[in-house]
Structure 1
Amino acid sequence: MRTIAVANQKGGVGKTTTTVALAAAMAERGRRVLLVDLDPQGSLSAWLRQPRTEGRGVEQLFLGEPEEAAWRERLDVEAGVSILPSSPALAGVERHGVPGRARALAAGLASLAGQFEEALIDCPPSLGLPMVSALAACDRLLVPVQTEFLALEGLERMTGTVAMVERSLARKITWHIVPTLHDPRTGAGRRSLELLRSRYEAQAWPGLVPVDTSLRDAAEAGRLYAGAPGRAGQAYSGLVDWLDGAGVTGKHLAQEAAA
């Protein structure tokens, strides 16, 4: 099972949207997908109309016996797609002195590895146990970044967090930047995208995700997708191809998204 964490310490950059859209693109390919909502605000759980109940959900993995909790707490969303939902109590999980908590999520996901081909983790916009546990569990990290100046400034904080967690966990984290909410009609958007790619050439996905209201329609409907995927959905499908190493070129994707 491939495990991908989606994280950024700045809010409003499309973390939950990226998680849902990737899940939809993977499910369309016939893959079994597990979603993990590690944000106490529970946007991913709310999007998919999943209950946020005190004493239930992903928080239970951090309170002991994560393998058993992962099986018990997962809920089916759609055919081939399940979720470990968030709960309000996740915000206080760091107060519990359970040994090995940073590795608990990895242990819980490992117990489900035979049931799913992909796991997607929606992280909170703050450094703490949930984010550290996601970085400890993931094979790859995606950092959605809105193509605007303030979002680029916030990216430096996230890159510092990645470096700090790498030292703490004594492991390298493979990470990529995903430009999101791009509006090619604005000069600021075009300049921010150019700056992002020049500063982070090695990490930046060469495609981009344009502004697209179809994903808002999906959230309103409580589904992975509402109707046929729009331009953003097509871009995320291209991102899956890129992550799979299918040879889709970023130049082609960028041209399509900007058209």
Structure 2
Amino acid sequence: MKIWTVANQKGGVGKTTTTVSLGGILAKQGKRVLLIDTDPHASLTYYFGIDSEELEVSVYDIFARGTAMESEEILQALCPSTIENLDILPATMAIATLDRSMGNRNGMGLILKKTLAKINEHYDYAILDCPPVLGVLMVNALAASERVLIPVQTEFLALKGLDRMMRTMELMQSSQAKQYNYTIVPTMYDKRTKASLEAYKTLLANYEGFVWPGVIPVDTKFRDASLAQQAPIEYCPKSRGVFAYKALLEYLMKGS
């Protein structure tokens, strides 16, 4: 199973859209895909119409029980999506308490990695949607991942969030002796605006070799797809945004 983490220490840059879009396309290609929500806001969970507060088991239980959950219990906690081969491990607001209640517990940073190892044979891909803050949830998602995707809205303030994200990965690389394979994904690109053009040029100049050479354009179909609680590949398969994510996926698979 390949494990990708979608992360940035700024909200509203397209993390959940990227997770859902790539996961949906992979599933439509016949891959077995698991999307994991590690954000207390549960945007990924609600995207698919899952009311996580009514669930008996969620990603919170995986952290609360540590590595005690067996593979069958983990699989029972997953929710199917409307796309064949695409499942969701939902989040609840309770995971917002993890840093306070369990953050100092030994081994907490590797819970997700060890959990995913138990269901490795059931999926081809796992994609983790991260919260925009550094804590035990982001640490787990980064520790488990083989590739980090960093969506960056093509505007000035989002570049500041990218700076914070890069410093976080540098710190974790030092502490874990792990080199992250990461790709910066320019999102919400609007070629009509100077702000997008300048931000994109800055990304290419400052992070040469780590920026996907394409862009994810502004596409109102994404908003419509989330309203319909469907992955973009299902709701608007011929939209320009979906074509862009297909190009991104092709790029990532060549480098994987």
User: What range is the shorter-chain TM-score in?
Assistant: over 0.9
Work out the percentage of aligned pairs sharing the same amino acid. Answer: 40
Q: Deviations over 1:113-168 (max 9, x none)?
A: 11111100000000000000000000000000000111112211110001011112
Q: CA deviation at 1:56?
A: 2.6
Q: Distance in 2 between matches of 1:139 and 1:229?
A: 30
Q: Deviations over 1:154-184 (max 9, x none)?
A: 2111100010111122211111100000000
Letter in 1 for 2:185: V
Q: Does residue 80 of structure 2 align to residue 76 of structure 1?
A: yes
The worse-fitting range, judged by mean Cα deviation, of 124-133 and 54-63 is: 54-63
Q: Distance in 2 between matches of 1:227 and 1:21?
A: 11
1:254 is matched with none
CA contact (8 A) 1:40 1:86 kept: yes
Q: Deviations over 1:26-84 (max 9, x none)?
A: 11211111000000000000101112127631111112224445223111113100011
Q: Distance in 2 between matches of 1:66 and 1:205?
A: 37
Q: Distance in 2 between matches of 1:216 and 1:229?
A: 15
1:100 is matched with 107
Q: Distance in 2 between matches of 1:132 and 1:122?
A: 12
Cα pair distance change 1:167/1:243, threshold 3 Å: same
Alignment counterpart, residue 86 of structure 1, candidates 87, 91, 107: 91
Count residues in correspondence. 247
Q: CA deviation at 1:88?
A: 0.9
Alignment counterpart, residue 236 of structure 1, candidates 227, 245, 253: 245
Letter in 2 for 1:58: V
User: Which protein has greater RCO, CA pairs closer than 8 Å, 6+ apart?
Assistant: 2
Unaligned runs of 5+ in 1: 247-259
Look up the SS of the partner of 1:185 in the other structure: coil
Look up the SS of the partner of 2:53 in the other structure: coil
Letter in 1 for 2:60: E
1:49 is matched with 49
Unaligned runs of 5+ in 2: none
Matches within 5 A, 1:138-149: 138-149=145-156
Q: Normalising by the residue count of structure 1, what TM-score does the alignment of the two structures yield?
A: 0.91
CA contact (8 A) 2:28 2:84 kept: no
Cα pair distance change 1:101/1:66, threshold 3 Å: farther
Look up the SS of the partner of 2:213 in the other structure: coil
Q: Distance in 2 between matches of 1:127 and 1:172?
A: 18
Letter in 2 for 1:51: D
Look up the SS of the partner of 2:216 in the other structure: coil
1:4 is matched with 4
Matches within 5 A, 1:129-140: 129-140=136-147
Q: CA deviation at 1:228?
A: 2.3
Q: CA deviation at 1:214?
A: 1.0
The worse-fitting range, judged by mean Cα deviation, of 46-55 and 28-37 is: 46-55
Cα pair distance change 1:229/1:23, threshold 3 Å: farther
1:32 is matched with 32
RMSD: 1.6
Q: CA deviation at 1:229?
A: 3.7
Q: CA deviation at 1:99?
A: 3.3
Q: Distance in 2 between matches of 1:70 and 1:121?
A: 16
